[in-house]
């Protein structure tokens, strides 16, 4: 029974809408308190199986290349793997000095990488998955909003590298939904039409179907409208 309880603790993860679990950790950029250090800003907390592994290395180069775009979108990057601080430092130096990937080289990783030898943070966020290694964190991504609420989470198996265009698209889409009170349909990117909530009454449904204003309605429950790309980016991205 005790063993079962321990495994349940390891595999528990926060859900969308939960407060992001608090933790204090040593990182390659000093000590952090998450998510309180990032109050008022978005954060992407992401985990890696281990240092000095090929897929992780390609991802860290890409994350570092993406960091400036995320900063402009009021978002911080925070990495984690279940390795020690000195291993982290040696790995990040090797990335900068030796590794080329997708035309990127001499890449310096400036965002914090958490030391989590005890796996305390990985356990709080359910990053140790049944069927995978018991001593490595899967490729988890948590989007945490300015109020410290988990807004989205994506999990990948150890063998699968992440799509960073999608991670950035998701960040901008969630901020757009918050700012303009809309939803973003499949494959949405800034400049594409956005969705509005279904009508809450028969009267509103009929009004929408007969409307000649900005709405485009295929049926009472499926209405879209245009939202200017420049307006979106001017409201979300820092100048």
The answer to whether residues 153 and 141 touch, using CB atoms and an 8 Å cutoff, is yes
Helical (H) or strand (E) element with 43: strand 42-48
Binding-site residue set for substrate:
139
The verdict on whether 202 is a catalytic residue reads no
Identify the residue whose tokens are 């409201």: 235
The answer to whether residues 46 and 140 touch, using CB atoms and an 8 Å cutoff, is yes
Identify the residue whose tokens are 């990937």: 101
Annotated catalytic residue: which of 56, 70, 75, 223? 56
The answer to whether residues 114 and 25 touch, using CB atoms and an 8 Å cutoff, is yes
Binding-site residue set:
139
Identify the residue whose tokens are 């594409």: 192
| Distance separating alpha carbons of residues 230 and 176, to the nearest angstrom | 12
Phi, psi of 115 (to 5 degrees): -85, 125
> CA of 38: how far to CAs of 74, 144, 220, in Å?
10, 9, 41
Q: Cite the active site residues.
A: 56
């Amino acid at each position: 029974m005790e063993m079962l309880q321990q495994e349940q603790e390891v595999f528990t993860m926060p859900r969308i809408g939960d407060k992001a679990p608090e933790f204090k950790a040593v990182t390659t950029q000093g000590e952090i308190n998450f998510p309180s250090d990032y109050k008022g800003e978005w954060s992407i907390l992401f985990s890696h199986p281990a240092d000095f592994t090929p897929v992780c290395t390609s991802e860290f180069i890409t994350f570092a290349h993406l960091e400036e775009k995320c900063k402009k979108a009021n978002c911080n990057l925070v990495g984690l793997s279940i390795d020690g601080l000195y291993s982290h430092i040696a790995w990040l130096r090797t990335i900068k000095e030796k590794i080329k990937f997708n035309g990127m080289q001499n890449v310096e990783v400036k965002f914090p990488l958490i030391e989590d030898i005890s796996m305390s943070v990985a356990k709080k966020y359910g990053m140790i998955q049944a069927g995978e290694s018991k001593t490595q964190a899967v490729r988890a991504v948590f989007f945490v909003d300015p109020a410290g609420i988990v807004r989205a989470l994506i999990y990948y198996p150890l063998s699968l590298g992440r799509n960073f265009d999608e991670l950035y698209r998701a960040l901008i889409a969630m901020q757009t939904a918050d700012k303009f009170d809309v939803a973003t349909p499949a494959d949405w990117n800034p400049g594409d039409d956005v969705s509005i909530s279904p009508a809450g009454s028969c009267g509103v449904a009929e009004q929408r179907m007969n409307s000649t204003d900005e709405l485009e309605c295929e049926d009472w429950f499926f209405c879209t409208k245009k939202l200017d790309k420049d307006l979106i980016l001017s409201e979300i991205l820092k100048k």
